[in-house]
Amino acid sequence: MPNPDSEKMPQIAETIRSGHSIPAAPDAQAGAELERVVGFLSDLCLELDTSLDPTTPNPHLNMILHLLRGHFEGRLVSASSMVDAAQVPYATGMRKLGHLQEAGLVEQRPRTRTGKSFSLHPSERLLSGFNQLAVRIDRLGRATFGAGARKAAPDDYYFGDSYVPGQTMIPPLAALPRPLKLAGGLRILVHGDPTFMVMGNLKRQFEQLVGTNIQQRAFSIDRLREEALRNAQRTRSQYDLIAVDLPWLGEFVDRGVIRPLPSVMDVSRLDPGDFHTAGWRAAHWDGVPYGVPSQTTPELMFYRKDWFARDGLEPPTTTARVLEAAARYHDPRAGRYGVAWNAARGTALGHTFMMTSAAFGQPMLDLDEIAGGYDADRLAHRRFRPMLDTPRALDAARYLVELMRYSPPDILSMSWYERIRPYAAGKVAMAYGYTLLAPYFELDETCPAHGNSGYLPHPHGPEGAPIAPVGGYVLCVPSNLSPERIDDAVDALCVFTSPAAQKLYAQNGSRTSPRYSVGADPEVRRLSPIFELVDQMSWRDELQFWPRPPIPQVSEIIRICGTELHDMLRGLAAPEEALARAQARAEEALRK
């Protein structure tokens, strides 16, 4: 039933759309052990130094804590501020600072060309070592003072680290040893979604890490593509990095918009084996990587697991169960509906039809069938035929028509965000949605869907199989980027897509993760069940990118489907007629 607090949800929606800071959930704050422990130790040292007399300062610890707090807060740390924090005479403080530098715990980075002015940053060694110390301090504090807290089991701890393989925590990002030398700062073109907005909210911290100011420009999905193509026509790119939606990759390569990664970097720097297999494969064209996964966000089925459990219904793993549950919960007089999904005309509905057809076992092109699905790795050197008027595609179209009976009244204008709002507010039992939209309800304890949501791959038809169509973006280097900016742009690319950066995004509200190591991090897993579930889907080979094969004409075909099937949903055309028109138009698009 609707919740009295549901009127707050439009504010959360506007927060996500406008790119303002997403309020972090209590679990997200509690999960950042290192930052939390640094704050605790700072407060504890202050209490000890001011409450006991006589007392002796610990200059090494004081300076380390000051350096770490500056690192987390994006503040510039100088040698003089370190000495001030040491709480000892200046000469003693400088000597103690030298000890820290000799031990490899503090790095200095030049701020000017002469190198006479520099900033101080924690080294990777300090961040990694303190990260392990923070875990032990946190565990000790909970065991000693945590009333009713779960006692650590003996097998939780083994020589100062997790005993479970793959559960090692990722330490925070270290500052680049050399600041980026980019005239005008680092310029990035992105999509205006929650994950990229989290990156924008962390702008100050990342500026300290890379040593230059950052300008991030965000657009809606269609405008992002237009701006990227417009930028490619310029003599010199206005952006150092651009976000590319996975289905656009073939088109952008074909038009010469982006550079192949091997031409600008050693790809092994990225640790490719750490990326989810489908997300990394989707970043390739003709066997060559052109981008780095910045977010891997499969589209799933969100459902109210508390309602299903209360009424003894099986989770909606098939399209038949979806329709059964939708009919059960659809009650327009009470303001409650069965299911929400992308049905807005054009791009939104086109994506829905492609992924729904895939769930019925039908790719949009005559792809070669392989183990686990269809081959979308080799698309560059053959001609394809659209497969929009097949029996399975017809079953998918009829399924969408059936969904209309149990959808909200404004379903024909619902797209990416609109479908999640009624689900979060407790007005809809199920919703198709990308994981990047889960913060909408996961980070708001007042909304009915908070803590009551289950996540499943796309419900499949009789001849289909469970799949989670991979969405998201890769960060790419523009082909027309000035040569003198390329090396620094690549360094920034490695920072923004690193495991430590991805973990930071998750701790600040993102629900996307392209890397296995991030999903396995125990701090990240505590934030949301999504991370572990997506990892499991990847291991089961359910994450797939073939539902939207990135051929150069895919954007046009998606729009064609979204237009013709919208007429079908409005009752202006029968499913067979709508699919026949879509097939003919798609064949013409491929001939061009």
Please report the pLDDT score of residue 148 as a whole number: 44
Task: Answer whether residue 404 is part of any domain.
Answer: yes
Q: What is the pLDDT of residue 114?
A: 65
For residue 103, what pLDDT is reported?
Answer: 86
What does pLDDT average to in each consecutive run of 10 residues of the chain (592 residues)? Answer: 38 43 39 68 73 78 84 80 84 86 84 74 82 74 59 40 53 87 93 86 89 92 94 96 96 96 96 94 95 94 97 96 97 96 95 97 94 88 93 98 97 92 96 94 93 96 94 96 96 95 92 92 92 92 94 95 97 97 96 84
Task: Output the pLDDT for position 342.
Answer: 95
Which domain covers residue 37, as residue numbers? 20-156
And the tokens for 354? 């492609």
Per the domain annotation, does 181 fall within a domain? no
Region of 566 please: left (phi>0), alpha (psi -120 to 50) or beta: alpha
In whole angstroms, what is the distance from residue 383 CA to residue 414 CA?
34
User: Is 179 a domain residue?
Assistant: no
Written as one string, the DSSP assignment of 377-446 is S--TTS---B--SSHHHHHHHHHHHHHHTTS-TTGGG--TTTTHHHHHTTSEEEEEEEGGGTHHHHT-TT
Number of domains composing the chain: 3
Q: Are 295 and 416 in contact (CB under 8 A)?
A: no
How many residues are recorded in the chain?
A: 592
Bridge pairing between strands 118-122 and 106-110: antiparallel
Residues 334 and 288 in one domain: no
- Here the CATH number for the domain that contains residue 281 is 3.40.190.10
Is residue 148 domain-shared with residue 26, that is, in the same domain?
A: yes
565 and 421 housed in the same domain: yes
Tell me what pLDDT residue 241 has.
97
Looking at the structure, tell me whether residues 276 and 424 fall in a common domain: no
In the chain, the N- to C-terminal Cα span, in Å, equals 51
Q: Output the pLDDT for position 46.
A: 72
Residue 71 and residue 147 in one domain: yes
Domain contains 99: yes
Task: Tell me the C-alpha to C-alpha distance, in Å, between residue 329 and each of 307, 324, 326.
Answer: 9, 9, 5
| Residue 519 DSSP code | H
Same domain, 418 and 280: no
> What number of CA atoms fall less than 13 Å from residue 456's CA on the CB side?
23
> What does the pLDDT read at residue 59?
85
Compute and round to an integer the Cα radius of gyration of the chain: 26
List the structure tokens of 499.
Answer: 């495991």
Pair 46, 142: CB distance under 8 Å: no
E strand or H helix at 289, and its extent?
Answer: strand 288-289
Other CB atoms closer than 10 Å to residue 486's CB: what's the count?
17
- CA–CA separation, 105 vs 74, rounded Å? 18
Do 307 and 245 share a structural domain? no
241 with 337, same domain: the answer is no
Report pTM: 0.77
The pLDDT score that the predictor gives to residue 233 is: 96
Q: Residue 298: CB partners within 8 Å, gap ≥ 6?
A: 434, 435, 457, 468, 469, 470, 471, 534, 537, 543
Verify that 389 and 503 share a domain, yes or no.
Answer: no
CB 390 within 8 A of CB 575: no
Give CA–CA dist 149/135, Å, rounded.
16
CA nearest to 514, candidates 302, 281, 175, 260: 281
Q: Does residue 409 sit within a domain?
A: yes
Same domain flag for 405 and 510: no
Residues 233 and 210 in one domain: yes
